[in-house]
Each structure stands twice: as structure tokens, then as C-alpha cells.
């Protein structure tokens, strides 16, 4: 498993995790200079408490408009798992002014495209459009945010779509099912234990009023942000946002209960038996996360070092896990990787995953994965290897900024995590300062058994009469 990390990828780690067993690896090289033309983002508070973030980038006559709501599956309560994602679907099913499906048809008529996504921490809606059409989509989206409504029959039809999505992406996907069971085992109190798509029994019992209540509770101006990036004038965007979004009546954001995960008291291990072609082993270690970036505390510093450790293990072509586990006549794995999910509103996890090579066992892969971390703890990381990781971060970050969509998504993601508007720059600065000694230290302290959960996929015979769907990446943001 190879995974190239951009700073936006750090945010995505929390939702996708190491269960994403294949990802693109951008080619290294000199970063394109065009990205320097993007201005620094600006943030404003509208009259009703809604946030506005504007990133001006004049290189192409396009714009991305997003609405981020700081609500996801972690804000659900037991018995209604999946309601955040179901509501995301229902946001396309009408408002006081529009019929079901009309929103997307109007965006397409403007020459744009639109979609939405739900994760544990947030829900987002976006339109990518010609820049001169920005006011049109702001009018549409603000109406949907304030006045979403639909008949019960529309809800029942769309709920069947979500159920089928769960069947396709989880029930019929052994790797995704494994990670669903992993999180349900790793966490007791944290709502991260529930799948974003929801348990099927909760979907079966869900009512239209469950979705309506979730909408009324969380879709309030003070719990949302508008993000606009592209060929726009900042002052004009601010005026339009105040006109269309600032006029929505203010309401208080509901109080959130902490639901703190208690300390784990020993190793947890599960086996998942499903029809599959290959076995898989996933090791998850509970680790500290990043809580703020202004003045780093000890746990913030450890979290940054864990990010660097993950990149040392699998962040580039020929990284340690690839060399040690996937190459040579004694190779034990067809795929191996790591991720440090340390950004988010919930607990953090460091993942190691591997798919055994032919004739090898999950136990051998598990031992080999842990040995690579122990090797870092014993020997540290050479300065040249550490510098390679940091250089690739900087180059990847520049490439990422070449996409207006990525600029908007990064700003919205960081806002959702309650990080400052310049979180990307702060992260880069802090990551540049991480030392080999810090990486060696976290490798020695956080990888014992007491905070470890191990999940193993034990393949069962495939049904020759049942068509096989391609493996999904697991617990990623849902659309």
C-alpha cells in the first residue's frame, strides 16, 4: 500500500483511514509556480453567526461554492445511526421553492456540477460553476439550507437508495465490513463506533421525522460555513453571502455531550469471516490527536510526530513497509500501509494494515508490521529519510493548491475541525520542525498491546453464482 500525503489528506485520514488500500501517488518534481497566484483566504462572520470563508484565485474563470455543516455521524444518537447521511440525500429532494431533483437540474443548466458528502465529523454540499454564476447557486443553496422540505413518500423512496448503498459499499464488501467491525470493537463510548451509513436495523426503523428533527437541530447558521474559492471578488462575495445566508434567522447551536472514550485496558482482537479472495489484517493503536495549532502542547507534538512516522512507513514509493514486506523472495504481503488519523472531533487512531502474499498468514503480516515500528523505536530515522518525507509534503501541498476545489475543501475541512483559517500553513511549519528523535520517541511509546485493536478478515469460500463487486475503500465520506 502506497499513500502520498498532502495536508488535505491529513484531514481525509480521519474519515478514510488506512482502510483505503490503494491511493494515487503524485509524481515528485518541482512544484508548479502558478499556485502562487492564489491570495490568502479571508474569513468573516455574517450577521446571524454563519461563517464565510473566501479564497480568491484568478487563474481560471471558475468558482467552487460549498456549505459545510459541523455535523456528522458522531452527532447521532443510538437508534438513528445513518440519519446524517440520509438527510444529506434528502437535501436534494426539495424546498419551499423547488421540487425533488430540481436543485441539481438547475445547477447543471448553469453549466455546473454538484454533489454532497457525509463523514463522522461534517456534512458538505458543493457546486463547481462558471464564476459569473455564483449568485445563482448561492440563491439556490441558501434556500435549501433554510427551507428543506419533502413529502414522506419521497423519504421512503430515498431510504431504499441508502439501504442499497449500504449493501453495495459494506455488506457486499468484505474489507469494508471488516473495518465496520473494527471500529465497533475499538470504541465503546465514542460515536466513532457507529458506521457513517448507519446500521441496517436503524435504517429499517428510520422515519421521515427522524431526518426532519436532525435538520432542525443541526442545520442552523451558527453551525455552518460558506466556503467560496475561485475567480471572485471578496467584497462582492461577502455582500452576496450576507444577502442570501445572513438573512436566515439565527438559532443557537445545540449543546454537544462529550462522550469521551474511556481508557482501553488491554488488547482487543476480532476475526471476521466473510466470502473473500484474500485475507486482511488491520491493527489500530489509540494515539493522541491534534487539538489546536497555535501553541502546541505535548500531545499535539506527539500527534505531529506520529504523522511523520506514518509517512516514513508508507508515504512514498519504496518506503519502509513496501521494502520490508512487499519485495524480495521472502516477501510476506501483497499490500501494506499505515495512516495516522489525528485530525477530527473524535478520538485518534494509528492504523497498520496488510494483505498477506500467497502462502503467508495474517499472523506473519501482523508481526512484520509491528517489527517495522519497533525498528524505528530502536534505530530512529536517518536525516535523509526524514528530509525526503518533508520535501514531498511541501511539493504535494503546492500541487494540491493548483485545484480550486481542493482549496475550498481544505478550508472547509479545517473549519469543521475547529482549526484556524491558516491551519494548512501552520501544519506545514510544525511538520518541518519534527525531529528524528521525536519520531523515534512516539514509535517507542504508543505501540504496545494495551491500546491495540486487531481485526482479521478470514476468507470464506466465494459463492460462484454471486457476482463480485470491486472492493470499496471502506469507511470513507459518503455521497
Return phi, psi of residue 458, to 5°: -105, 105
CATH architecture of the domain with range 7-26+260-460: 2-Layer Sandwich (3.30)
Q: Positive or negative CA dihedral for 71, 77, 78, 79?
A: negative
* Same topology between domain 7-26+260-460 and domain 34-244: yes
- Predicted pLDDT of residue 467: 66
How do the domains of the chain map onto residue ranges? Answer: 7-26+260-460, 34-244
Cβ-contact 171, 177 below 8 angstroms = yes
C-alpha–C-alpha distance, residues 287 and 285, integer Å? 6
pLDDT at 470: 62
pTM for the whole structure = 0.90
| DSSP 8-state code for residue 446 | S
Contacts of residue 101, Cβ cutoff 8 Å, sequence gap at least 6:
92, 93
**Site of grid cell 436566515:** 248
> In sequence order, what DSSP letters do the residues of 291-309 get, joined into one string?
--SSS--HHHHHHHHHHHH
Contact, 35 vs 402, CB < 8 A?
yes
Q: Compute the distance between CA of residue 122 and CA of residue 124 in angstroms, rounded to an integer.
A: 7
* pLDDT given for residue 340 in this prediction: 97
Q: How far apart are CA 190 and CA 427, in angstroms?
A: 26
Homologous superfamily (CATH) for 34-244: Metalloenzyme, LuxS/M16 peptidase-like (3.30.830.10)
> pLDDT by residue for the chain (479 residues), tens digit each?
333 344 545 544 433 433 433 222 323 333 333 344 457 999 999 999 999 999 999 999 999 999 999 999 999 999 999 999 999 999 999 998 999 999 999 999 999 999 999 999 999 999 999 999 999 999 999 999 999 999 999 999 999 999 999 999 999 999 999 999 999 999 999 999 999 999 999 999 999 999 999 999 999 999 999 999 999 999 999 999 999 999 999 999 999 988 899 999 999 999 999 999 999 999 999 999 999 999 999 999 999 999 999 999 999 889 999 999 999 999 999 999 999 999 999 999 999 999 999 999 999 999 999 999 999 999 999 999 999 998 888 788 777 778 999 999 999 999 999 999 999 999 999 999 999 999 999 999 999 999 999 999 999 999 877 766 666 545 557 76
Amino acid at each position: 500500500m502506497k499513500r502520498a500525503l498532502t495536508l488535505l489528506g491529513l484531514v481525509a485520514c480521519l474519515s478514510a483511514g488506512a482502510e483505503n488500500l490503494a491511493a494515487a501517488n503524485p509524481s515528485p518534481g518541482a512544484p508548479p509556480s502558478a499556485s502562487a497566484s492564489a491570495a490568502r483566504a479571508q474569513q468573516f462572520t455574517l450577521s446571524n453567526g454563519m461563517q464565510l470563508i473566501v479564497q480568491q484565485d484568478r487563474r481560471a474563470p471558475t468558482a467552487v461554492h460549498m456549505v459545510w455543516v459541523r455535523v456528522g455521524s458522531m452527532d447521532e444518537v443510538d437508534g438513528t445511526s445513518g440519519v446524517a447521511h440520509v438527510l444529506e440525500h434528502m437535501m436534494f429532494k426539495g424546498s419551499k421553492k423547488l421540487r425533488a431533483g430540481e436543485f441539481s437540474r438547475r445547477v447543471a443548466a448553469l453549466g455546473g456540477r454538484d454533489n454532497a458528502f457525509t463523514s463522522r465529523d461534517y456534512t458538505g454540499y458543493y457546486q463547481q460553476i462558471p464564476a459569473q454564476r455564483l449568485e445563482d447557486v448561492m440563491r439556490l443553496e441558501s434556500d435549501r439550507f433554510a427551507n428543506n422540505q419533502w413529502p414522506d413518500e419521497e423519504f421512503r423512496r430515498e431510504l431504499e437508495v441508502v439501504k442499497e448503498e449500504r449493501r453495495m459499499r459494506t455488506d457486499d464488501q468484505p474489507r469494508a465490513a471488516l473495518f465496520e467491525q473494527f471500529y465497533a470493537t475499538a470504541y465503546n463510548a465514542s460515536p466513532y463506533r457507529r458506521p457513517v451509513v448507519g446500521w441496517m436495523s436503524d435504517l429499517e426503523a428510520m422515519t421521515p421525522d427522524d431526518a426532519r428533527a436532525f435538520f432542525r437541530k443541526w442545520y442552523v447558521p451558527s453551525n455552518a460555513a460558506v466556503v467560496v474559492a475561485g475567480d471572485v471578488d471578496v467584497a462582492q462575495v461577502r455582500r452576496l453571502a450576507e444577502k442570501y445566508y445572513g438573512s436566515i434567522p439565527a438559532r443557537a447551536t445545540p449543546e454537544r455531550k462529550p462522550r469521551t472514550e474511556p481508557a482501553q485496558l488491554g488488547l482487543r482482537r476480532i476475526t471476521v469471516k466473510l466470502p473473500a479472495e484474500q485475507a486482511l489484517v488491520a491493527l489500530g493503536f489509540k494515539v493522541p490527536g491534534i487539538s489546536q495549532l497555535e501553541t502546541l502542547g505535548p500531545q499535539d507534538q506527539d500527534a505531529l510526530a506520529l504523522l511523520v512516522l506514518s509517512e516514513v512507513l508508507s508515504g512514498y514509493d519504496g518506503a519502509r513497509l513496501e521494502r520490508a514486506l512487499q519485495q524480495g523472495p521472502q516477501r510476506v504481503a501483497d499490500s501494506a500501509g499505515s495512516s495516522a488519523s489525528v485530525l477530527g472531533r473524535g478520538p485518534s487512531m494509528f492504523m497498520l494494515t496488510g494483505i498477506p502474499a500467497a502462502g503467508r498468514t495474517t499472523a506473519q503480516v501482523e508481526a512484520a508490521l509491528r517489527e517495522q515500528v519497533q525498528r524505528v523505536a530502536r534505530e530512529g530515522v536517518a536525516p535523509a529519510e526524514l528530509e525526503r518525507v518533508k520535501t514531498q509534503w511541501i511539493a504535494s501541498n503546492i500541487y494540491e493548491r493548483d485545484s480550486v476545489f481542493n482549496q475550498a475543501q481544505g478550508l472547509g475541512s479545517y473549519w469543521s475541525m475547529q482549526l484556524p483559517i491558516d491551519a494548512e500553513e501552520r501544519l506545514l511549519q510544525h511538520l518541518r520542525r519534527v525531529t528524528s528523535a521525536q519520531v523515534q520517541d512516539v514509535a517507542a511509546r504508543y505501540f504496545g498491546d494495551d491500546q491495540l485493536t486487531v481485526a482479521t478478515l478470514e476468507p470464506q469460500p466465494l459463492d460462484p453464482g454471486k457476482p463480485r463487486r470491486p472492493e470499496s475503500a471502506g469507511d470513507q465520506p459518503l455521497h
